[in-house]
Structure 1
Amino acid sequence: MPITSVNRDPASLTMTVVADFAADLQRLWQVYVDPRQLERFWGPPDYPSTFTRHDAAPGGRSTYRMTGPDGQTHGGYWEWISVDPLTSFEVRDGFASPDGEPNPQMPSMRMHFLFEERGTGSRVTTTTYFATLEELEQLVEMGMEEGLRAAMGQMDTVLADLTAFAAGDGTVCQILSETQARITRVIHGPIETVWQAHHDAALMRRWLLGPDGWTMPVCDVATTVGEKYRYEWEPAAGTAGERFGFEGELLESVRPYRAVTTEQMIGMPGDGTLNELTLTPVPEGTLLAVVVTFPDAATRDAILATGMVDGMETSYARLERDVIG
């Protein structure tokens, strides 16, 4: 059990949890900023969590749901207040309604996570600040302390599993729900470079090509919220295929870590998708995550069956080779 102490202090309205691990500091930090790893322990074993958004940056937001053995879900959110890489971060943690918005009927709390090297391992100290004594007592009665103990008890396994989340595993697709999938890849380059590569037409034409043998004659980039974009590809001489493209609108943009767009295949009827791009600095470079929301499960399965993920991997490998170098 990694937790070494739990201290509730009614006078200061805090609860402090100290946990020690054999893993090094970088590894411990990464399990909190990588949603694929965080959701493996953020919740008791019988209430696993799924993060549908995770912006590890000041002003960012995370949304997640915990699913119980009976299939019932309970939502939560983090509002990111501050981040000092490899040292600390602070969030406001609260309960969320089914639509992911904060539940005003339930209390929220400020949580500060402090990371420290400890001999051959590392330590995380989690201090939770409550607004009132009543809220502290309410959340303790709801099982907050037991939940934290059970959740963090799973961390040793996550930290030891270096292979599953090692850089270089390529592009991975995870099904999050009937209508959502998360596509992730570690890009070996700094976050600003990766962001620029997604927003500069000249750079995009060098890497965003999918399989070899295609060109990108149209690359109209949206850089301001509300602007429309349009991308078109066509096969080079000697390559089989027909010209196609996508268009949509930029809904959110926070440089260098978040961009949200709609996407519709040109000339195709029906609803398109919502694409949420998140970039997070990690020791190996930049963790790229795209959460795609589809209109329904059938559309999700049909799009993924086109080989989309393989095409994305070819493009991301080209991004590392031809843009980042």
Structure 2
Amino acid sequence: MPVTAVTTDPEALTMTLEAEFSAPVERLWSVFTDPEQLGRFWGPPGWPSTFTAFDFAVGAHANYFMTSPQGEKSGGRWEFIEIDAPRSFAVLDSFADETGAPIEGMPSMRMVLSFESTATGSKLVSTSHFTSAEALEQVVAMGAVEGSTMAMNQLDRVLEGLRAYAQGKGTRTEILDDQHVRITRLIEGPRDIVWRAHTEPELLRQWLLGPDGWRMTVCDFTPEEGTSYRYAWEPDDPARGEPFGFDGENLVVVPGRRLTNTERMTGTDYPATLNDLSLEEEDGVTLVTTLIEYPDAETRDMVLATGMTDGMEASYARLERVLIAA
């Protein structure tokens, strides 16, 4: 993982994050000064950022909001106070309301981002300076250490580019913690087709089948927030297993980019999961990322033990073969 240390100093009133990357410092600088790239990692998994403004000049501002899988929004505002390209820049970092204005009563801090060349690539040092010990304690209590660590540990794939990060590696499952698993798969095709394949029932029926020998018998899905959905499958040969299905509710729909929903196995008492699907396109390929939130580690391990990753790989390979190549 890129992050090597996160420390807080109550006497100096600072929180400092250090991370190292194999990319050159110019490349590291570029992702922090391009809002499209910055939004892909500025926020922990499940809380991606959308920058609504980004004027990279001293005295100017950047505004963004992060959206949770349930649709909750948390806003931020930067005022650029120093820029020394490509070595460092500093901002006054504030919590912001829906209009982009700083929230009264919430702490603001001076954040300095420094970029250094190393023998193997580059190093990032991010230091936030607080006005009081209470402000530092408040931000730490809100999960700033854990959130910033998880956010910066997503940066590698942005620096590498999607092809270098995922091409030829199939469906990959990463256990992030007791409750969260991240699954990624690179699809050889544009994002608009991949989005349609995930949201149009006539296309879903062609590829979302898991291993060969199964057919989709129910595909009731509308890509709109607040709608319910239901999928069901059965084997061609009853000896292969029992019919089953899933149902849930769509919580967040950002056409072409993000779909989050709840999921539970139909007709069972198994606990529901929260699935957060996002699509990123680069150079004609699309990275499909699904962040799954389980109620606990036991449920997580039980689901992974079913061979879920292999079933998803069979489906994604079929998606490329049936839809992308058509």
Q: Distance in 2 between matches of 1:128 and 1:216?
A: 52
Q: Percent sequence identity over matched residues?
A: 37
Aligned to 1:288: 288
1:21 equivalent in alignment to 2:44: no
Is the 2:260–2:274 contact (alpha carbons within 8 Å) kept by the matching residues of 1? yes
Find the residue that maps to 2:303 and give its secondary structure.
helix
Alpha carbon RMSD of aligned pairs, Å? 4.3
- Asked if the contact 1:52–1:176 (Cα under 8 Å) also holds between the matched residues in 2, the reply is no
Q: 2:51 aligns with which of 58, 80, 90?
A: 80
Establish whether residue 109 from structure 1 lines up as the match of residue 112 from structure 2: no
Distance 1:211 1:149 in 2: 47
Equivalent in the alignment of 2:258: 258
Deviation per residue, 1:225-266 (Å, 9 max, x gap): 222111111111486111111111111211011111111101
Unaligned runs of 5+ in 1: 1-18, 43-49, 55-61, 63-77, 84-89, 113-122, 133-137
Q: Structure 1, residues 96-145: CA drift from partner, whole Å, max 9, x if none? A: 9xxx8649xxxx43379xxxxxxxxxx7996746689xxxxx734xxx32
- State the SS of the aligned residue for 1:198: helix
Instruction: Give the total of aligned pairs.
Output: 242
1:51 aligns with 44
Q: Does 1:309 align with 2:302?
A: no
Q: Report the Cα distance in structure 2 between the residues aligned to 1:22 and 1:273, rounded to whole angstroms.
A: 37
1:206 offset after TM fit, Å? 0.7
Paired position in structure 2 for 1:183: 183
Q: Over residues 60-106 of structure 1, what are the superposed CA-to-partner deviations in whole Å (9 max), with x where a residue is unaligned? A: xx2xxxxxxxxxxxxxxx442169xxxxxx65379x9xxx8649xxx
**Partners of 2:217 and 2:208 in 1: CA distance:** 12
Q: Deviations over 1:188-217 (max 9, x none)?
A: 111111111011111111100000111101
Give the structure 1 partner of residue 15 of structure 2.
none
Corresponding residue SS for 2:219: strand
Matching of residues 57-136 of structure 1 within 5 Å:
62=48, 78-81=49-52, 91-92=63-64, 102=74, 108-110=76-78, 128=91
TM-score normalised to the size of structure 2?
A: 0.61
Under a length normalisation based on structure 1, what TM-score does the superposition of the two structures give? Answer: 0.61
- C-alpha contact (below 8 Å) 1:249/1:261 kept by paired residues: yes
Letter in 2 for 1:81: T
| AA matched with 1:196 | R
Letter aligned with residue 184 of structure 2? T
Of 232-241 and 216-225, more deviation after overlay is shown by: 232-241
| Contact 2:214–2:234 under 8 Å retained in 1 | yes
- Conserved 8 A contact 1:92-1:109: yes
Kept in 2, the 8 Å contact 1:33–1:280? The answer is no
Q: Is the 8 Å Cα contact of residues 233 and 243 (structure 2) preserved in structure 1? A: yes
Deviation at 1:297, TM superposition (A): 0.9
Q: Give the Cα separation in 2 of the matches to 1:292 and 1:225.
A: 18
d(CA) in 2 for partners of 1:281, 1:148: 29
2:236 equivalent in structure 1: 236
- Counterpart CA distance in 2 for 1:246 and 1:111 is 46
The corresponding residue for 2:203 is 203
Contact 1:30–1:282 (CA under 8 A) maintained in structure 2: no
Structure 2: which 5+ runs fail to align? 1-23, 55-61, 81-85, 95-101, 103-107, 125-151
Aligned 8 A contact 1:93 1:110 in 2: no
Distance 1:295 1:209, change over 3 A: same
Q: In the alignment, which residue of structure 2 is the partner of 1:153?
A: 123
Decide whether the 8 Å contact of 1:252 with 1:260 is kept in 2. yes
